[in-house]
Amino acid sequence: MGMNRMPLIAGNWKMNLDHLQAVAFVQKLHWTLKDAKHEDDSVEVAVFPPFTDLRTVQTLLDADKIAFALGAQDLSTKDSGAYTGEISGAFLKQLDCRYVIIGHSERREYHAETDEVVAAKVQAALRHGLSPVICVGETAEDLEKHGASAVPVAQLEAALASVAADADIVVAYEPVWAIGSGQAATPQQAQDVCAKLRDVVGSVLGADAAARTRILYGGSVKSANIAGFMREPDVDGALVGGASLVADEFAAIIRYQKHVGV
């Protein structure tokens, strides 16, 4: 974990929790952290609910002065118009979203999102003052065929095309072979790829951007393995899936600094 980068623990709810369940969950997470005397300023926490929950969660965060950042799971490449079912970055900005996940492996796989679509979505996010969480990663097949890091590096280079050097972006490395498998990458595997991704940010956006940009690991993250990842110099946080839906477990991940040896 780079000393000057605020760690980011991001909970991607995927297609889980309706807006009522979201209220109960966010309140429970908030009080679990409060009871544990968690210091809000040591780690940034972001939650990524489904679109139908965003307004409700925004209102709750405001009303209860809860210090979580809000993010969306996707956005349109377009800003407005005849695009049935699409969500504009302008709408997300109006809901105080700070972040938006772009190019998640599930979107790449199930919605055939190409590197070009991902790049256009990154541009759309930045146009509206949203920080894109740019997801890159490789499948087991990619790993065997191209070796570690080749695919995520190429994906990130494509996603950063036309991005300004001072843009506020986050990168998330998700080895697709690790997601939901229970089989996380080792901290060393995560570090190796995250270091190469930082090199890409440096070569495309410059040294300042490389030093400032947070790179997250995602893929079967749990409270039992988060501390090992966070010890690595180029891993600045985690994009958490299933474990982010369990308040006690997600709170324990957020409090990784209390685990032995971090």
pLDDT tens over the chain, length 262 residues: 555 899 999 999 999 999 999 999 999 999 999 999 988 788 999 999 999 999 999 999 999 999 999 999 999 999 999 999 999 999 999 999 999 999 999 999 999 999 999 999 999 999 999 999 999 999 989 989 998 899 999 999 999 999 999 999 999 999 998 877 777 889 999 999 999 999 999 999 999 999 999 999 999 999 999 999 999 999 999 999 999 999 999 999 999 998 755 4
Tokens standing for residue 123 = 């541009």
Sign of the C-alpha dihedral computed for residues 63, 69, 73 and 74 taken in this order: positive
CB atoms within 10 A of CB 83: 12
Q: Which domains does the chain have, with CATH numbers?
A: 8-258 (3.20.20.70)
For residue 74, the SS3 value is coil
* 187 close to 206: Cβ distance less than 8 angstroms: no
Question: In angstroms, how far is CA 153 from the centroid of its own chain?
Answer: 17
Active site residue ranges = 104, 174
Eight-class DSSP state of 55: H
